[in-house]
């Protein structure tokens, strides 16, 4: 039975605006969208990963029936040129034309990869996001950032390509492993830190766990904050602040993922370490006091997230990786820093020694 506990949320982008639909059981809504496309003569295909294909077999059948599907290997390593090319070949083999539609069903890897393939095929076809992880629901499925990783760094090839709609079905979280749920909470904590002190305070008072009655409201709150930021600065062109604020902790996190090897840490786990490092950097810059940095680390730990590297990584290699971060401008690293829970800003000109000290404090050598 379909249930809609919260009204849809609109990402306001003019003629490219779209709705984020929330519910606890949205299979019928997705199936209705697929049927409507078919009636309009538009062919739909599904991109998912092997883990979702196994765990959500019945849901996939209910939503998409016999629509062609391609399951990519689960994990960050699928965000590659090779898998990207195979998806384009899949679209061509299914004879998708410019009216073709892609449904991305999975976590952030699937959404980023399938979205970039949709952006590239025939110079751009429509796609919908059906996120199956908490991280994808609160962050990567919203905003139209698509992409893959290169050897030089994370998400260095991609496109801004907005979906035609997002279906956030919290029922899909019931089969999510606890480690992946925790990884998603890293992005929730990030959202509270950068723009909603009340949300951060709620997470600080009591950690959110799978099945928590607050979960649906927390997911919608994060989507609402991100939708507003994306509507104001879709392509991350604001000289300061803007969409770049969504990268709080990510300059550190992306470097960790690259140096450790993609897949060693879940993205949310790397983000958690990065949030701790960003709080440490903010303290070293005199923007917050040690008590605030401790609060950030305590909330992360309460949600089962790491605040230190599991094994030491080279501080020199981590610093080199930050130089390739896509937020860098004019060859200068940019970090997102905190002025307190709910208040963040971008900062250029951070001394390299300070950033390296934060890596070392997190367990680099």
Q: Which residues are catalytic?
A: 123, 145, 187, 226, 236, 243, 247, 250, 254, 267
By CB neighbour count within 10 A (0-12 exposed, 13-18 middle, 19+ buried), where does 123 fall? exposed
**Angle, alpha carbons 11-143-340 (nearest 5°):** 95
Q: What is the SS3 string spanning 77-103?
A: HHCCHHHHHHHHHHHHHCCCCCCCEEE
Q: How many residues does the chain have?
A: 365
Cβ-Cβ contacts under 8 Å for 235 (sequence gap 6 or more) = 160, 243
Alpha carbon distance 219, 228 (integer Å): 14
Alpha carbon distance 203, 272 (integer Å): 14
For residue 94, give the nearest of 33, 30, 46 by alpha carbon.
Answer: 46
In sequence order, the β-bridge partners of residue 48 are 71
How many Cα atoms occupy the beta-carbon half-sphere of 13 within 13 Å? 23
Contact 124, 118 (CB under 8 A): yes
């Amino acid at each position: 039975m379909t249930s809609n506990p919260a009204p849809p949320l609109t990402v306001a982008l003019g003629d490219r605006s779209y709705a984020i639909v929330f519910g606890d059981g949205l299979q019928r809504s997705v199936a209705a969208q697929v049927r409507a496309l078919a009636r309009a003569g538009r062919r739909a295909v599904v991109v998912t990963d092997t883990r979702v294909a196994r765990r959500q077999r019945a849901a996939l059948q209910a939503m998409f029936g016999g629509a062609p599907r391609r399951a990519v290997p689960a994990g960050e390593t699928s965000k590659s040129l090779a898998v990207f090319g195979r998806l384009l070949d899949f679209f061509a083999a299914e004879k998708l034309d410019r009216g073709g539609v892609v449904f991305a069903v999975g976590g952030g890897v699937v959404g980023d990869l399938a979205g970039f393939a949709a952006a590239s095929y025939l110079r751009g076809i429509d796609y919908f996001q059906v996120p199956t992880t908490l991280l994808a629901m609160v962050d990567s499925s919203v905003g139209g950032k698509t992409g893959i990783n290169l050897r030089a760094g994370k998400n260095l090839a991609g496109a801004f390509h907005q979906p035609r709609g997002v279906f956030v079905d919290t029922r899909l979280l019931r089969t999510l492993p606890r480690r992946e749920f925790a990884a998603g909470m890293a992005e929730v904590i990030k959202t509270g830190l950068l723009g909603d002190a009340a949300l951060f305070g709620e997470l600080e008072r009591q950690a959110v766990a799978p099945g928590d009655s607050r979960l649906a409201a927390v997911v919608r709150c994060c989507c609402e904050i991100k939708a507003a930021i994306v509507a104001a600065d879709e392509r991350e062109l604001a000289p300061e602040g803007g969409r770049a604020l969504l990268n709080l902790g990510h300059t550190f996190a992306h470097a960790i993922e690259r140096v450790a090897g993609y897949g060693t840490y879940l993205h949310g786990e790397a983000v958690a370490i990065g949030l701790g490092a960003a709080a440490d950097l903010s303290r070293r810059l005199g923007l917050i006091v040690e008590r605030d940095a401790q609060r950030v680390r305590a909330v992360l730990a309460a949600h089962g997230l790491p605040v230190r590297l599991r094994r030491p990584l080279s501080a020199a290699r981590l610093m080199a990786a930050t130089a390739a971060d896509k937020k860098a401008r004019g060859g200068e690293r940019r970090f997102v820093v905190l002025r307190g829970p709910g208040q963040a800003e971008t900062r250029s000109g951070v001394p390299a020694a300070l950033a390296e000290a934060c890596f070392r404090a997190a367990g680099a050598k």
